[in-house]
């Protein structure tokens, strides 16, 4: 399924995204390095082993980014004008190397754009779940989408 135009959405629409992703050590290390995040909980196995978790925690901004990425094909691919913002981002459970994650999305708001007649704002609630069906990231994302061409 490709992204949907503004008119194709209704509040309450739900999607269980098909792509699942197992997080690897390489994912976590490269993301931490690329974003200049030297947090030892993410990159130092000996340090992390002494923490309350006993092992490396996956970088939370990787977790957040993966959630957005897993949702794009079904929501905004080819119709996105702009991401307007992210809010209420929470991470109630940690993510560890080897966890397999999947995403789901619900439309929680629709608003026609007053300044752009060819666009509308869709507010999406994205959730990322691990293999134990625990929510590991929950957020709202507002996107400016194209309206269907006339």
CATH of region 6-146: 3.10.129.10
pLDDT over 50 at 1, yes or no: no
Percent of the chain past pLDDT 90, that is, above it, reads 96
Cα 124 to chain centroid, rounded: 10
pLDDT tens digits for 25-73?
999 999 999 999 999 999 999 999 999 999 999 999 999 999 999 999 9
Q: Three-state SS for 142?
A: strand
Average pLDDT, stretch 86-93? 97
Per-residue model confidence (pLDDT) at position 63: 97
Residue showing tokens 């307007």: 84
pLDDT tens digits for 120-141?
999 999 999 999 999 999 999 9
Transcribe 36-86 into DSSP letters.
Answer: T---HHHH-HHHHHTSTTSSPBPPHHHHHHHHHHHHHHHHTTTTEEEEEEE
Average pLDDT, stretch 104-113? 97
Domain residue extents for the chain: 6-146
Q: How many contiguous H segments (helices) and E segments (strands) does the chain have? A: 4, 6
pTM over 0.85: yes
Q: At 130, list the tokens.
A: 């691990």
End-to-end alpha-carbon separation of the chain, Å? 21
Per-residue model confidence (pLDDT) at position 150: 80
**Measured between alpha carbons, how far is 127 from 79 in angstroms, rounded to an integer?**
21
């Amino acid at each position: 399924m490709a992204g949907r135009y503004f008119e194709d959405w209704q509040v309450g629409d739900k999607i269980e995204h098909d792509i699942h992703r197992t997080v690897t050590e390489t994912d976590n290390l490269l993301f931490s390095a690329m974003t200049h995040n030297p947090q030892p909980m993410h990159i130092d196995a000996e340090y992390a082993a002494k923490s309350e978790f006993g092992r490396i925690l996956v970088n939370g901004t990787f977790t957040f980014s993966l959630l957005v990425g897993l949702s794009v094909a079904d929501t905004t691919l080819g119709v996105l004008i702009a991401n307007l913002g992210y809010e209420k981002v929470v991470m109630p459970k940690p993510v560890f190397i080897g966890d397999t994650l999947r995403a789901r999305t619900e439309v929680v708001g629709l608003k026609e754009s007053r300044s752009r007649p060819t666009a509308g704002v869709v507010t999406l609630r994205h959730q990322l779940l691990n293999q134990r069906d625990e929510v590991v990231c929950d957020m709202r994302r507002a996107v400016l989408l194209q309206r269907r061409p006339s």
